[in-house]
Structure 1
């Protein structure tokens, strides 16, 4: 993330969260181009990350993880 100066790629504030542009799903989780590929990762601030996910709500099944990286079923 140093390539973007540790700043949010949307608003320019301090970036804190690495966001997946293509949301992770159970179907694509093992596809490293999606889960780990730099083309699918974006550094964002908390505010922009919330806005992105507020817009995504209801648009397909996503997955979430616990603090140990395990999938949390929902």
Structure 2
């Protein structure tokens, strides 16, 4: 969901035209995995300081079309948490051991 300071921008005709032309330029596919895309991601994140800078907001070089999964991974949303310390796991007997 858009942050409050960005809502006007994301509803602007300039953004809608830019977004649609960008999606068309990448054939509607996620640029990371090739699945159907879902969201146009700004590589340089939008902030209150740059929200009115078209070199950031409307520049195709700052955009990437991503599917939902790749966008979540980009923002580390829904990141799977491990209940086990890195480098350790359970063997076939169910014992907690270092993984080699």
TM over 0.5: yes
| Aligned-partner Cα distance in 1 for 2:30–2:39 | 9
Q: Please tell me whether residue 50 in structure 1 is matched to residue 67 in structure 2.
A: no
Bigger relative contact order, structure 1 or 2 (CA pairs below 8 A, ≥6 apart): 1
The RMSD of aligned alpha carbons is 1.2
Pick the aligned partner of 1:5 from 7, 20, 27: 27
What is the 5 A alignment of 1:7-22? Answer: 7-22=29-44
**Secondary structure, in 3 states, of the residue corresponding to 2:75?**
helix
Question: How many residues matched?
Answer: 55
Q: Which runs of 5+ in 2 are unaligned?
A: 1-22, 78-100
**Counterpart of 1:39?**
61
Largest Rg, 1 or 2 = 2
Pick the aligned partner of 1:24 from 32, 46, 52: 46
Q: TM-score scaled to structure 1, two decimals?
A: 0.69
Q: If each structure's helix is expressed as a fraction of its own residues, which one has the higher value?
A: 2
Q: CA deviation at 1:5?
A: 1.1
